[in-house]
Amino acid sequence: MPCYSVTEGEGPLVAVALHDGHALRPEVAALTALPEEERLREEDPFTAAWTAVAPTRLVALRSRFEVDLNRPRAKAVYRRPADAWGLPLWRRDPPDELVERSLSQHDAFYAEARRVLDGIAAREGRFVVLDLHSYNHHRAGPDAPFEPQSTHPDVNIGTGSMDRARWARIVDRLMAELSGCDDLGRRLDVRENVKFQGGAFVRWVHETYPEVGCAVAMEHKKFFMDEWTGELYPAVHAGILRLLRSAAAAVREELAAQAWAVAAPSTPRSGRA
């Protein structure tokens, strides 16, 4: 099985789901010490479906416990418990050859992302990437209280590596669309940089395409599922998809309203994760 899938379409909008994957290649599965359900709890299941909001999509097909596409290359394979929330990761230390095979997938993904985004930058002049994730808010146990809303917004927008002034209208419009509708029976609590400021992928986009690429990390709290059993709440998940479609349409409108020139985008830098 490949490490990722790519769907290419028209327009300046891209959606990625870097932690949706759950599969492990056999040599990794043979050494992992984590039960499948524990891996799933730290992955971002069901986020790939949300990438349907964009014509161009990049989706991870392998578990972050094989290779984490949202970390820098040097940290993309979790080798010690400290790399992954203190979890006991391996039955024995993975050999360097296994690690290098995993890292080769990281290299391939970023090379493919570079190819795709180079093409969009040349064609459209500017682009926006929606980097879709989810996060846990019930870590203490299935019968324990949920984490407080004050520190765990429904959607955490990560803009830590972004030139915020350059892309303010895009980010502000996106947040307003997500928080301004009660399609789920209430308005979502959408805040910026409360728990997460964005990972390696959005940082790579901003470093590689500093004037033409806006990447927004979007961490959705797992209120759309039971994070202990893995059960999906289909109506809530579908409601989030509808909100994301509305937000994506607003981002496209905002890009068009900027009237940015297509003819002369700056040359992408040679940055890598």
Residue 240 is assigned to a structural domain of this protein: yes
Is there a contact between 69 and 260 (Cβ–Cβ < 8 Å)? no
What is the structure's pLDDT at 258? 73
Residue 267 is assigned to a structural domain of this protein: no
Residue 270 is assigned to a structural domain of this protein: no
**95, 74, 72, 175: which is closest to 130 by C-alpha?**
175
Residue 29 is assigned to a structural domain of this protein: yes
Amino acid sitting at position 198: G
SS3 217: strand
Residue 205 is assigned to a structural domain of this protein: yes
Residue 202 is assigned to a structural domain of this protein: yes
pLDDT tens per residue across span 76-106? 999 999 999 999 999 999 999 999 999 999 9
What is the structure's pLDDT at 271? 56
pLDDT tens per residue across span 107-152? 999 999 999 999 999 999 999 999 999 999 999 999 999 999 999 9
Q: In this structure, what token pair is assigned to residue 246? A: 């509305």
Q: Which segments in the chain show pLDDT lower than 70?
A: 259-273
Q: The CATH number of the domain where 191 resides is what?
A: 3.40.630.40
What is the structure's pLDDT at 16? 98
Task: Tell me the residue range of the domain where 148 lies.
Answer: 4-258
Residue 264 is assigned to a structural domain of this protein: no
pTM, full prediction: 0.93
For the chain, how many structural domains are there in total?
1
Distance CA 120, CA 134 (A): 26
Residue 106 is assigned to a structural domain of this protein: yes
